[in-house]
Chains A and B, each alone.
Chain A
Amino acid sequence: MREYRLLPPESVRSHPASYERLVERGFERALNRTQSLSPKTIIQEVSDAGILGRGGAAFPTGRKWASVAEAPFRPKYVVMNADESEPGTFKDRVLLMDDPLGALTGMIIAARAVGAHKGYVYIRGEYQDVEARVAEALRMLETRGFLADGLTIEIRRGAGAYIAGEETALFNSIEGRRPEPRVKPPFPTVHGLFGKPTLIQNVETLANVAVLLSESVQWFREKGTDRTPGTKLVCLSGAVQNPGVYEVAFGVPLKEILFSEELGGGLASGRALRAVLLGGAAGTFLTPQELDEVQYDYPSLRSIGASIGSGAAMVFDDTVALEDVLKLLAHFFADESCGQCVPCRVGTRRMMEILESPDGFDDAERLRDLGRAMQDASICGLGQTAPLALLSYMDRPTLWKRSAV
């Protein structure tokens, strides 16, 4: 049930940023192998492996690489998005602490595949330990000459804004501007950082590239489902016995992630399960019954209106009133909205105020109109997904007003 591909198994004891680790994990093999492959072949392998972006949007990685590679303008950039800031999401932190060379190897390969000579690793400002670990790993790669073809990689630190993790806001942040999201299209693949074609990928996506190219497409596809090959890091938090980051194959029953002894280990309190918030703060509440019915895969979850998102799963037992959870989430989004567009700037504030008022949940039409306008008309993913948890709660009457036991 528990997999070890992206996360090193316990038998791996070498220092995470060391050359020994690079060899032990097979990443040196991946780097050497890709040096002799043409960019086209590398992109073909990534496409054939069927890797989907792990940052939340699940866009086919190979298609993104091809798009940047084909874009006519130069220079091109490659960016690793390590601005992980969503409540309940902490996988990139663990991944970069435990095995920073995987994502960096993926990044070096990506740069070669799309023709970029400059890379940025954008790390959440609060992750100072992570930054130090990545810097150490990067120095080792530089010293040993793994940054070939004049590639330079620079670390940039976020300054405490969740919105800076939105890819186009992240570009503005690197450029020294306010991290306000840009309108898409044009997409980053043709008009990204400094207005140039840019490949931006989540940490976990790049780590997948490293393990793929150290092995083979066939090996990669042995885990997961046919449509979603590979493994996924799950951030399990809340009322489970063993909260933490786990690696599982796509397609496992969602219930197993919570209850399997080697994973969540069941509810810590021994009480009944009330709900799971799947996908992060901008995720979907699932009822215990829904949990029984679905697999951890995109098509299965889509059938009940949910998604994997960033990989977060927050578990609530029956001592928790979900109304209180919704208030906290609303607070988060009101704090983190950049303020650029009206539906998000004012909408996140109003949602927080309405949910905090004593009869806030009573006027369902007002809440729903607001949620839908935010979802439909906001510029970026923050405003568009800020109301999702609330809307999912409103769609599931069995979750309503069952206050704390």
Chain B
Amino acid sequence: MADITLTIDGVRVTVPEGSTVREACGQSGEAPPVLCFHDNLTPANACRACVVEVEGSRALVASCSRKAEQDMVVHTQSERVLNARRVVGELLASTSDVSLAPGVQDLLSQNAGDPARYRTGATWEQQVLDDNGLYVRDYAKCILCYRCVEACGEDAQNTFAITVAGRGFEAHIDAGFGRSMPDSDCVFCGNCVAVCPTGALIDRSEYTLRQTGAWQEEAVSTTETVCSYCGVGCDLELHVLDNRIVKVTSPMDHPVTHGMLCVKGRYAYQYVQIEDEMPERA
């Protein structure tokens, strides 16, 4: 493929055709921050944290999805860009509980954002939805990044159990007419949980430990293994705390899974830690 040369913050950068502006930025300096963007998902263009200024374009441009063009002139640190980034962080912090969203916290701290500046009324504070044995939905933490919708849809699972419903500030993730997850089309693969950047979707095991104060992020070790259920050969990362498996994920860059698993690989690990319960031989 041909190469594209563009100017980013005054520096000429050459990237392969098809690269995004953000990838080009990452080559010459720091890639713009992202919240909704995920390497394995279609860009949702929703968070607007990654916007940059492109000369000739009236509005700012989402660098995560916009393709680099020959002789494009990009500014990643202009006053307009920095204001937009800061306000995006402030608006999210005014709406949602971002305590488990390091991306939003970084966006605020790197842009001198004040999380209280736009706390002028409504928030997304709401009851935790606890309706199944495998994961918990705490939508007070949701930033509506669309990652879960995409993982449930064409980007991974093709189940289409969830979508965005409502509009404006009332827009929210919904399994169809407010149904609980067991009543929905959900197959409990947990791929939505795997891509959630804010802890709004969280595995029950982790949620329970956090509730009791027993979750210690730094004490969690991971062990890689291969799923033993079928012949696909999915790579598993077993997250272990106090010699108990507390979470199962798959590496996002793994060629077989791309981070996505099925319900058995992700949640059916209890048998591993059932000890001394073999029935006596007759």
Please tell me if the beta carbons of B83 and A346 are within 8 angstroms of each other in the complex: no
A373 touches B120 (CB 8 A): no
Size class of the contact patch on chain A: 35 or more
Give the residues in chain B near A377, CB-CB below 8 Å.
48, 51, 59-60, 84, 87-88
Within the complex, what minimum Cβ distance (angstroms) separates B48 from chain A?
4
Complex contact B87–A375 (CB within 8 A): no
A-chain residues with CB within 8 Å of residue B166 when the two chains form the complex: 339
B120 touching A354 by the CB < 8 A rule? Answer: yes
Provide the bound-state CA to CA distance between A22 and B62, in Å.
Answer: 47
Looking across the interface, which residue of chain B has its beta carbon closest to that of A347?
A: B91
- For residue B220, give the distance in angstroms from its CB to the closest CB of chain A: 31
The verdict on A337 contacting chain B, using a C-beta distance below 8 Å, is yes
Q: Is the CB of A337 within 8 A of B84?
A: no
Check: B121 CB closer than 8 A to any chain A CB: yes
**Residues 334-355 of chain A, each 1 if its beta carbon lies under 8 Å from chain B, else 0:** 1111111111011111100110
Provide the B99-142 mask, 1 if CB < 8 A to any CB of A, else 0: 00000000000000000011011100000000000000000000
Q: Which residue of B lies closest to A334 (CB)?
A: B168
Best-buried of A178, A341, A350 by chain B (most CB within 10 Å): A350
Cβ of B95 < 8 Å from any Cβ of A?
A: yes
Residues facing B in A321-339 (CB within 8 A) are: 334-339
Question: A375 CA to B121 CA in the complex, in Å?
Answer: 22
Cβ–Cβ contact A384 & B59, under 8 A: yes
Query: B59 to A339, Cβ gap below 8 A?
Result: no
Determine if B94 is an interface residue (Cβ-Cβ < 8 Å).
yes
* Chain B 51-62 interface 0/1 with A at a Cβ cutoff of 8 Å (1 = within): 100000001101
Q: A350: which of B62, B86, B120, B144 is its contact (CB, 8 Å)?
A: B120
Interface centre among A345, A347, A370 (most CB of B within 10 A): A345
Assuming the contacts A339-B144, A345-B169, A377-B59, asked whether A353 and B122 have C-beta atoms less than 8 A apart, the reply is yes
Cα distance A44–B167 in the bound complex, in angstroms: 42
- A366's contact among B60, B117, B122, B168, by CB below 8 Å, is which? B117
Measured CA separation A185–B80 after assembly (Å)? 21
- Tell me the complex Cα distance, A353–B94, Å: 12
Once bound together, how far apart are the Cα atoms of A334 and B171, in whole Å? 12
A221 to chain B, nearest CB (A): 28
Complex Cα–Cα for A341 and B83 (A): 16
Complex CA–CA separation, A373 to B118 (angstroms) = 13
Give residues of chain B (157-177) contacting chain A, Cβ–Cβ below 8 Å. Answer: 163-164, 166-171
A381 CA to B161 CA, complexed, in Å: 30
* CB contact list, A55-95 vs B, under 8 A: none
CA of A342 to CA of B89, assembled, Å: 9
The answer to whether A337 touches B48 (Cβ under 8 A) is no
Which residues of the partner chain B approach A342 to less than 8 Å between Cβ atoms?
46-49, 88, 91-92, 143-144
B198 at the interface (CB under 8 A from A): no
A375→B62 contact, CB < 8 A: no
A398 on the B face (CB < 8 A) = no
What distance in Å separates the Cβ of A267 from its nearest Cβ neighbour in chain B?
Answer: 35
Are B169 and A378 touching (Cβ within 8 A)?
no
Complex-state Cα separation, A349 to B169, whole angstroms: 7
* Complex interface residues of chain A between 374 and 397 (CB less than 8 A to chain B): 375-379, 384
On chain A, the residues within 8 Å of B45 by CB distance are: 183, 340-341, 379
A334 to chain B, nearest CB (A): 6
Task: Answer yes or no: A357 CB below 8 A from chain B CBs.
Answer: yes
- B180: CB under 8 A from chain A? no
Q: Pull 19 A–B residue pairs with CB atoms less than 8 Å apart, ordered by A.
A: A339-B166, A340-B45, A340-B46, A341-B47, A342-B48, A342-B88, A342-B144, A346-B94, A346-B95, A347-B87, A349-B122, A350-B91, A350-B120, A353-B122, A370-B87, A372-B84, A376-B84, A377-B60, A378-B59
Extra A-B contacts (5), CB below 8 Å, given A336-B167, A341-B47: A339-B169, A339-B170, A366-B118, A373-B84, A373-B88
Closest 3 CB pairs of A and B: A339-B171, A373-B87, A353-B121
Chain B interface residues (CB < 8 Å from chain A): 43, 45-49, 51, 59-60, 62, 65-66, 80, 83-84, 86-88, 91-92, 94-95, 117-118, 120-122, 143-144, 163-164, 166-171
